[in-house]
Amino acid sequence: MRILVTGANGQLGNEMQVLAKENPQHTYYFTDVQELDICDKQAVWTYMAEKQIELVVNCAAYTAVDKAEDNQELAYKLNCEAPKQLASAAQANGAAMIQVSTDYVFDGTVHTPYTEDCDPCPDSVYGTTKLEGEKEVMNHCEQAVVIRTAWLYSTFGNNFVKTMIRLGKERDSLGVVFDQIGTPTYANDLARAIYDIINKGIVRGIYHFSNEGVCSWYDFTVAIHRLAGITTCKVKPLHTAEYPAKANRPAYSVLDKTKIKTTFDIEIPHWEESLKQCLIKLGMKNEE
């Protein structure tokens, strides 16, 4: 299969490149804005026709949650308009599409895991634009899969895990919110799930994927420091109100993964096991 992966320089895009070596049966076109500007409709349509793309995996997005509140136009362009063009071009070429979305399509006011049947109710520009992007993809491509994920981290780029390691080494104390609950997602695990979907065959629909288990950002940080062997920094729990941010965060955004596990026969590791694997790749001392 001829596969286009956009946003190839991001966390998920990089993991897709790593795992491509384990899936050599496909032909890959890994692009970022330098190779293909997905906001350029003509460029998207021309590229997909010329390369005879059979599947698009859109890993590109505007993910700066707070900045999106002030850059609504750019967030809309990248998170909604660009996926629409990718989906439309895919449909015109008889191709399928996998769109990556977010837990931010929910406001996080419930206290049971969100299923795909729950009504979306975003409470931020980022969440709103990502939800609109989901709708455009499902409306414009018959062979479409949307995967909502959460708390993504990896060995690539800047992310929460790397930041907590750096701050843990620099400071003797660190405050982290304890009243936002969710599940970390190792981008390598998400990439593996995407390859499972590709290889087993697209089943149209919206799916949820994160690692198994539940924690707060505070719990996550404590685990990062423990597993990385950082003992000189005391992690203190903070209320969200003590850490003001421009965009609202979901207080509870645990995703129910039953649908993706049963549809594609996918096994998902617990978040702490995946964190260990990531830290090993980062060369960190593993305490367990």
Is-contact 6 46, C-beta < 8 A?
no
68: Cβ–Cβ under 8 A, 6 or more apart, which residues?
A: 62, 74, 75, 124, 125, 126, 129, 247
Looking only at the bridges linking them, the beta strands covering 185-186 and 215-216 are unpaired
User: Which amino acid would we find at residue 154?
Assistant: S
User: Which amino acid would we find at residue 163?
Assistant: T
| Catalytic position from the list 126, 186, 218, 252 | 126
Gap between the Cα atoms of 113 and 181, Å rounded: 11
Alpha-carbon distance values, 259 to 56, 145, 150, 184, 207 (Å): 22, 12, 16, 19, 7
Is-contact 214 206, C-beta < 8 A?
no
The candidate with the shortest Cα–Cα distance to 264, out of 214, 185, 209, 215, is: 209
Answer left, alpha or beta for residue 147, where phi above 0 means left and psi between -120 and 50 means alpha. beta
Is-contact 27 198, C-beta < 8 A?
no
Is 126 annotated as catalytic? yes
Gap between the Cα atoms of 91 and 129, Å rounded: 22
Residues annotated as catalytic (active site), given as ranges:
126
